[in-house]
Amino acid sequence: MTTPPALFLSGWGFGRGPLEAVLEESHWRCLDLPGCGADASAVLPDHFTAAVEALLARLPPVCALGGWSLGGMLALAAAQAAPERFSQLLLVAATPSFIQREGWTLGRPPEELRAFREKIRQEGAGLLPRFTASFCRGDAAPQTAQWLLQNAAPMSQAALDAGLIWLEEADLRANLSRVTCPVTLIHGENDPLIPAEAARWLAGGLPRARLSLIPEKAHAPFAPDASARARFLREWPRP
């Protein structure tokens, strides 16, 4: 029996670089977000639902799928839309809703995200160092932010803006029961951007979920030193 391919989506703003550096010896292959990076020849989706549709169109009939942060949200949404196509999910630093909504307090204030979008329109990728430093607060390795930026693959201004629109629109709290494949969630215990409690909530709503909280790590639990990567990859499932 052929093992389904294992594909992993990058996060917003960084491209495939950081995860490729970690997964180069694994069976997982990194993918850019829809319309970004190596997929830049495709139409950049304007809305989150269109991004999910574009992702499903790119994927093989059956695969293992994972993602970091926004990539994890897209992976989860794809599995909700077409559960029969996924042998397993791997969600790193993911959440069902990035922003706060009625009945959901574990997200960022909507006005904060809108203000950040405006800053991105003004400064573009020049804002990434400050953003990276903010979500690495609480990480035991002081060089994490620098490592992420050194390994990042540039994203276009349009891709940066589109990704923030997707984050504002995505609300994946409903239909979690449709995801019937095994799901592994890996989350930094000290994540200041997406709190660990959001991952706990998500794990509680998925039928076959396993949550691993990594101590002393923040929003990028895979970076940057060898011991952190080894600890991270111990939780990483084989396809």
Q: Which residues pair with 104 in a beta bridge?
A: 101
User: In this structure, is the dihedral angle defined by the CA atoms of residues 105, 228, 186 and 144, taken in order, positive or negative?
Assistant: positive
The answer to whether residue 191 is catalytic is yes
CA distances from 172 to 57, 95, 97, 175 (A): 20, 8, 6, 7
In angstroms, the CA 126 to CA 63 distance is 35
Which residues 6+ apart lie within 8 Å of 181 measured at CB? 79, 83, 86, 87, 88, 89, 208
- Name the residue with tokens 């952190």: 228
Between CA 135 and CA 173 the distance in angstroms is 23
Set 69, 97, 139, 187: catalytic member: 69
225 belongs to the catalytic site: no
Nearest in space to 93 (alpha carbons), one of 224, 228, 199, 237 = 199
C-alpha–C-alpha distance, residues 239 and 7, integer Å: 9
Options 10, 32, 139, 219, the catalytic residue: 219
- The DSSP code for 237 is P
Q: Which residues are catalytic?
A: 69, 191, 219
